A and B are shown apart, each in its own frame.
Chain A
Amino acid sequence: MTVAGIGLDNVTKQFPGGTRALDDFCLSVPDGEFLVLVGPSGCGKTTALRLIAGLDKPTSGKIRIGERVVNGVSARDRDIAMVFQNYALYPHMTIYRNLAFGLRERRTPKREIDRRVREMSSILSLDDLLKRRPAQLSGGQRQRVAMGRALVREPKVFLLDEPLSNLDAKLRVQMRAELKRLHQRVGITTVYVTHDQVEAMTLADRVVVMSAGRVQQIGSPQDVYRRPANLFVAGFIGSPAMNLLRGQARGSVITAGELSFRRESVPDREIVVGIRPEALVPGAADGAPALTLEVELVEPLGESALVHGTVVGSHAESGAEEEQAVLTAAGSRAPVTAIFPGAAQPEPGQRVPVAVAPERIYLFDAASTEAIY
C-alpha cells in the first residue's frame, strides 16, 4: 500500500458569508502518521478535512498530497478515502456493493474486486453481512462498513470526520481500539477529526488543537497534555478540565487566592494559574502550596471521585469552555475540581485542605494567554 504525507501551506478558507473557517493554516503530516484534529465545534477542523479531501476549495494557500500539489485536482483523483460522521452508506446497495463501489468506479477487474472486498470484510468481520443493506445493520456494523468502504480502495490518505460520534459510549470505546489496531495494521496516513479530546489522546500519534480557524498547538498527546502552549490548549485538553485562577507574579512570587509559591524568572505581570484536577491531593503536605476546598458536589467513580467545590480566588476562562460551568461561584470564590481517591471521599459542605506540588502548577500570561515555562 502506497502512503503519502499531506501538507497544508498557509491555507485560508473563507465562506461566501464572510466566515473565515481557516486562517493561514499550516500543517504537515508525514507518511503513515495518525494525526488528530481536535477542537470545539466551529473551530475549522472539518473544513480542513474537506479541503484535504477536495470537497471544498481553499480561498488561498496550497494543499499537497505526497509530492503533488492537489489544489486543482478533483476529489475523485486525489486517491483519498473518507469516512463521514453519518457514514453515508449507499442505502440502495448491499454491503458488498457498497464496499465494491469505489473499485468498480475505477474499473478494477471483477476478480480483483471480489478478492479485496472479501479480504476487507474478513478484517472487519463483515463476512455475514455482505448481502444485507445498510438499513438492516446496527450502528457499529455500519461504522465498520464505512471504514471498509474507505480502506478497500487502498487509498494514499485516510480521512475520518467524527466517525465515532454516532455510537453509544460502550461501542465507541470498542471501535476506538479497533481503529487504532487497524491503523497499526495498514499503516496509512490518517487524519481524524473529533471534538472529543479522549479520542484525540488515545488515537493520535500527534494532536493538532485548533480554535477559531487557527492551530493552537501541535504535538504528541503527552506534549499537549503536559506542556500546553496556551490557556486554550490547557483548558481544552484534559478531563475534567484544568482549574484556572487569576493571580499575580511579583518578584518571582506567585499569588492566586490562598495559593502562594515561588517560581524563578517569571516577570512581574498578571497571570493565570492552572492546576489539573489530578494534581490536587487531599490533605496538606509540608511546604507544598495548599488550598481550602469547600466541597459542593461529589461524583464517585469507584476507583476515584470527582470533587467539585470552590476556593478563595477569582476564576479565569480558557476560551475552550463548551458551555457555562455547572458551578459558577460568585464574587471572591472560584470553582475547582479535584480527583480524590475513592476511599477519601469528602461530604458536600465540608472544607478540606488540598495540596499541589509546585512543579505541577502551570502559569499563563493573562494578557497573551501564552504559557510561561
Chain B
Amino acid sequence: MTGRTAITAPADRRGPGAVEPGEERERAQFLFSPWHLVLIPIALVMLIPMAWMLVTSLETLNEVRHFPPTLLPHSPRFSNYTDVLRQAPFARWFVNTVIVTVASVAGNLLFCSLAGYAFARIRFFGREVVFVLILATLMIPFQVVMIPTFLIVKHLGMINTLGALIVPNLAGAFGVFLLRQFFRTLPVELEEAARIDGASRLSVLFKIIIPLSGPALATVAVITFLWTWNDFLWPLITIYSPDNMTLQLGLTTFEGTHQTSTNLLMAANIMSMLPVLLLFFLAQRFFIRGIASTGLKG
C-alpha cells in the first residue's frame, strides 16, 4: 500500500500529460527492481509459519497430528475459536493484557518524555554520568535483574497482581535514550521562544516538545506495546492465578503435560496476535506520514 503511494506521488504532482520518456523509465524501475527477486522469497519464508498457524487453527486435532501434514483442512473448524473462548478465561486474559499494555505504554510515554527532556535540555550536576549509567542498563540481560526485581515487587506486596506486571515497566532506558536523542534535534529556539512567551519547563515540554515528537513517541509506544504484549517470562514468575494471567501466559495452559490441543492453541494464538498486527499496520502508516516541522527556515 505504501509502496504504491511512493510510486505515484511524483507523477501526480507534475500533473497529467507531463510524463517524459525518462520518467517512464523511472516508474518502470519502481515497479520491479532486482531486489524483489530476493525480497519476495524472504517474505514468503516469513509468511509460512503464520499461514501454518492459521491452517492449524482451523483443523481437527486428528488432522493436526496427521503425517504428512494436511495443508488444507477438509472443512474449516471455526468452532475451534469458540471452543477456546469457552474452555479458558480468554476474555479475562485479553482484558488483563490490555490493561497492562496500555498502562505500560502510557507510563513509558510520560516518564521517558520527562527524563528524556531533562537529559536533553536541563543542565544539572551529574547529568552525563547518570545518563551513561541509565544507558548501561541496556546491556544487562533481563535474566540478571529478574530475581532482584522479583524481590522488590514482592516487598511491594504486588506478586500475583497486575501491578507486578505494570510497575517495573513504567519507564525504560531505551525510551529515555530515544526521546533524549530526538528532543536534542528540535531547534532550541522553539523552547526559548516559548520560555520568553511565559511557558514553564513543563509547559514547554507538553505544549511544544511533545506535539513535535510524534514519530519518536510512536516508536517508544510501539516498542513498549510489542514488548509488554508479548512478554512471557516476567508474568510467568509473578502471576500464578488464572484470573490475573496475561494472554501469553494463558496460552501455555493449553499445553498439557500429556496432551496439547495444538489446534486450540493456534486459534488462541491467532486471536492474541490480531491486536499486534493491527497496531503494526496503523503505526506504519503513522511513521510514513511523519510530521511537518517546517516552522523554521534555514
Question: Using a CB–CB distance below 8 Å, which chain A residues touch chain B?
Answer: 53-55, 74-76, 78, 80-82, 84-92, 101-102, 105-106, 133-135, 139, 142, 149, 153, 166
Q: Is there contact, CB below 8 Å, between A102 and B198?
A: yes
Q: Check B298 for interface membership: any CB of A closer than 8 A.
A: yes
Name the residue on A nearest B212 (C-beta): A92
> Taking beta carbons and an 8 Å cutoff, which residues of B are in contact with A?
187, 189-190, 192-200, 203, 207-208, 211-212, 291-298
Partner of B297, one of A78, A80, A87: A87
Q: Say which residue of A75, A76, A88, A133 sits within 8 Å of B190 (CB atoms).
A: A88
Q: Is the CB of B298 within 8 A of A86?
A: yes
Interface contact B200-A76, CB-CB below 8 Å = yes
Interface pair A86/B297, CB less than 8 Å apart:
yes
Q: Is the CB of B193 within 8 A of A82?
A: yes
List B contacts of A80 (CB < 8 A): 196
11 contacts between A and B (CB under 8 A): A54-B196, A74-B195, A76-B195, A76-B196, A86-B187, A86-B297, A87-B295, A88-B296, A101-B197, A105-B203, A135-B292
> Would A135 and B199 count as touching, CB distance under 8 A?
no
Query: Contact partner of B295 among A75, A82, A135, A153, CB < 8 A?
Result: A135
In the complex, are the beta carbons of A139 and B189 less than 8 A apart?
no
In the complex, the number of residue pairs spanning A and B with C-beta atoms less than 8 Å apart equals 88
3 closest residue pairs by CB, A with B: A91-B295, A102-B197, A134-B295
Q: Contacts A80-B196, A90-B208: A134 and B190 contacting too (C-beta < 8 A)?
A: no
Identify B199's interface contact among A105, A134, A139, CB under 8 A: A105
Contact flag A88-B294 (CB < 8 Å), given A75-B195, A102-B197, A106-B198? no
Contacts of A133 in B (CB 8 A): 292, 295
Q: Give the nearest-CB partner of A98 in chain B.
A: B295
Distance in angstroms between the alpha carbons of A106 and B199 in the assembled complex: 8
CB neighbours of B296 from chain A (8 A): 86-89, 91
Q: Which residue of chain A lies nearest to B293 when distances are taken between CB atoms in the complex? A: A91
- Per the bound structure, the CA–CA distance linking A89 and B194 in Å amounts to 9
A76 x B199 contact (CB < 8 A): yes
Q: Please indicate the chain A residues that have their CB under 8 angstroms from the CB of B199 in the complex.
A: 76, 101, 105
- A105 x B298 contact (CB < 8 A): no
Tell me whether A90 and B295 are in contact (CB under 8 A): yes
Across the interface, name the chain B residue whose C-beta is closest to A82: B196
Q: Are B297 and A166 in contact (CB under 8 A)?
A: yes
Looking at the assembled complex, report how far the CB atom of B188 sits from the nearest CB atom of chain A, in whole angstroms: 9
Q: Are A101 and B194 in contact (CB under 8 A)?
A: yes
Contact across chains for A84 and B193 when beta carbons are under 8 A apart = yes
A residues in contact with B196, CB < 8 Å: 53-55, 75-76, 78, 80-82, 102
Task: Give the one of A54, A82, A88 with max B CB within 10 A.
Answer: A88
Nearest-neighbor residue (CB-CB) of A107 within chain B = B198
Which residues of A sit under 8 angstroms from B197, Cβ to Cβ?
Answer: 76, 81, 101-102, 105, 149, 153
A101 to B296, CA, bound (A): 17
Q: How far is the CA of A88 from the CA of B195 in the complex (A)?
A: 12
B291 → chain A, closest Cβ, in Å? Answer: 8
Residues of B within 8 Å of A101, CB to CB, are: 194, 197, 199, 207
User: Chain A residues with Cβ under 8 A from B187's Cβ?
Assistant: 86, 88
Give the residues in chain A near B295, CB-CB below 8 Å.
87-92, 133-135, 142
CB neighbours (8 Å) of A102 from chain B are: 196-198
Q: Which residues of B contact A134 (CB under 8 A)?
A: 294-295
Chain B nearest CB, measured from A48 CB (Å): 15
User: Is there an interface contact between A105 and B198, defined as CB atoms closer than 8 Å?
Assistant: yes
Distance (Å) between the CB of A95 and the closest chain B CB?
A: 10
Q: Is the CB of A76 within 8 A of B189?
A: no
Q: How far is the CA of A89 from the CA of B293 in the complex (A)?
A: 10
What residue of chain A has the Cβ atom nearest to residue B199's Cβ?
A105
Which of B197, B200, B291, B297 has the most chain A CB atoms closer than 10 A to its own CB?
Answer: B197
On chain B, the residues within 8 Å of A91 by CB distance are: 212, 292-296
A154 to chain B, nearest CB (A): 13
In whole angstroms, how far apart are the Cα atoms of A76 and B195 in the complex?
A: 5
